[in-house]
Chains A and B, each alone.
Chain A
């Protein structure tokens, strides 16, 4: 087994091989991780929203309200305006879902589902749906399509600008998926590579392997801290960009 195979084994999703009536079910490590994160978020937040009687409950409720205020006042309202209020539950869920999915990879025996392009593409598709829905809801089909052509564009340029703008919007959604996927994947690959350095060097000579242990572990700890930061940062970026794109179709130029 070479290094690439080891890395692929640790990063790639694994199908559990379950099937129903001859149809292979997409029950994989990543999908189970997503389900676990969803159940955790659902049970925790549902409990928090009704736990105002105890002191801990009130504290958690206050924290949850601070979180909602942050998402609303820092991400949604500045980018989408008051029209974004209706989308607040979506953005609150999106941020926490991505964050906890990113952080799940830090827990032993769990994997970072956001390092799977299928997962990030699915999230980007949901965000694309929200962007599309925002445009259609506030401008209608014709108004939404008109929004792809900046005002003041000469008529002869419209056939050129329109497809470019449509492609630009599609690319923005695709880039959401790729950015999250690439950031989470690269972090885990670096962590794995740092660990593998010890074994590769140790295979050459046992003393060299022991010597590489301390710097490799130091870098490993540093990268883990960086991964924690990246987990928050990528959740924030994904949510922020979704709000910006949705705001751009609501408040067209």
Chain B
């Protein structure tokens, strides 16, 4: 059993040569290719990730700019809306004033026309009464009738006036 700890220098040297040769050959024929491909892919992924990050930052910047622009547009739209409302109110007041003025004018004209027609009618009635009285007086004079007859005549004239 003491041979367990007894070094065999031949095996030791052979193992060192074997292992170092294996390291060299594997590096030459396996690891260089595998590590190269792996690092190339990792570099590609890192580049893609960086580009994606850049694109995301650009998109966020653009979104911020659009948000600012949208906020400006909203403010401007609100201002325009207030101006339009103000204009509408002033136009409505103007229209109402014009309409009131026109209505007053029409009313005054109508009143004046009515007054004129009323005066005309009164003048016509007055002329008619005068003519009727003149006719009655003429008839009284022509017939020289008694009191009774005269009264009847006057009564009759008055009745005619009432009828008219």
Residue in B5, B10, B34 whose beta carbon sits within 8 Å of that of A26 in the complex: B10
Residue of B nearest to A92 (CB): B31
Chain A interface size, under 10 / 10 to 19 / 20 to 34 / 35 or more: 35 or more
Give Cα distance in the complex from A126 to B18, angstroms: 11
Asked if A183 lies at the interface with its beta carbon under 8 angstroms from chain B, I say no
Q: Which one of A61-69, A137-145, A161-169, A214-222 contacts B?
A: A61-69
A89 contact set on B, CB distance < 8 A: 23, 26-27, 31-32, 35
The residues in A between 170 and 203 inclusive whose CB is less than 8 angstroms from any CB of B are 185
Asked if A46 lies at the interface with its beta carbon under 8 angstroms from chain B, I say yes
Residue of A nearest to B42 (CB): A69
The residues in A between 1 and 43 inclusive whose CB is less than 8 angstroms from any CB of B are 4, 7-8, 11-13, 24-26, 28, 30-31, 34-35, 38, 41-42
Asked if A103 lies at the interface with its beta carbon under 8 angstroms from chain B, I say no
Most buried by B among A7, A45, A88: A45
Q: Are B4 and A46 in contact (CB under 8 A)?
A: no
A26 contact set on B, CB distance < 8 A: 8, 10-11, 13-14
Give Cα distance in the complex from A122 to B12, angstroms: 5
Chain A interface, >50% SS class: helix
Asked if A250 lies at the interface with its beta carbon under 8 angstroms from chain B, I say no
The residues in A between 76 and 103 inclusive whose CB is less than 8 angstroms from any CB of B are 88-90, 92-94, 97
Interface contact tally, CB-CB below 8 A? 122
Asked if A241 lies at the interface with its beta carbon under 8 angstroms from chain B, I say no
Q: Are A92 and B26 in contact (CB under 8 A)?
A: yes
Q: Are B15 and A68 in contact (CB under 8 A)?
A: no
Interface size on B, residues (CB 8 A): 33
Asked if B38 lies at the interface with its beta carbon under 8 angstroms from chain A, I say yes
Q: Are A50 and B33 in contact (CB under 8 A)?
A: yes
Q: Are B31 and A125 in contact (CB under 8 A)?
A: no
B21 contact set on A, CB distance < 8 A: 38
Q: Are B19 and A126 in contact (CB under 8 A)?
A: yes
The residues in B between 116 and 156 inclusive whose CB is less than 8 angstroms from any CB of A are none
Q: How far is the CB of A76 from chain B (nearest CB, A)?
A: 11
Asked if A104 lies at the interface with its beta carbon under 8 angstroms from chain B, I say no
Q: How far is the CB of B34 from chain A (nearest CB, A)?
A: 5
A50 contact set on B, CB distance < 8 A: 33
Q: How far is the CB of A126 from chain B (nearest CB, A)?
A: 6
Q: Are A38 and B22 in contact (CB under 8 A)?
A: yes
Q: Are B34 and A49 in contact (CB under 8 A)?
A: yes
Give Cα distance in the complex from A121 to B7, angstroms: 8
Give Cα distance in the complex from A28 to B11, angstroms: 8
Most buried by B among A35, A49, A90, A92: A49
Q: Are A31 and B18 in contact (CB under 8 A)?
A: yes
Residue in B1, B8, B18, B34 whose beta carbon sits within 8 Å of that of A64 in the complex: B34
Residue in B10, B30, B38 whose beta carbon sits within 8 Å of that of A25 in the complex: B10
18 further interface pairs, Cβ-Cβ under 8 Å (given A35-B18, A41-B22, A121-B12): A26-B10, A26-B11, A26-B14, A28-B8, A28-B11, A45-B30, A48-B34, A65-B34, A68-B38, A69-B38, A89-B27, A89-B31, A93-B27, A113-B15, A118-B12, A118-B15, A121-B7, A123-B19
Interface residues of B (CB under 8 A from A): 1, 3-16, 18-23, 25-27, 29-35, 37-38
Question: Can you list 24 A-B contacts with CB-CB less than 8 angstroms, sorted by A residue number?
Answer: A11-B4, A12-B3, A13-B8, A24-B10, A25-B10, A26-B11, A34-B14, A34-B15, A38-B18, A38-B19, A45-B29, A46-B30, A49-B29, A65-B34, A65-B37, A69-B38, A93-B27, A97-B19, A116-B8, A117-B5, A122-B12, A122-B19, A125-B12, A185-B4
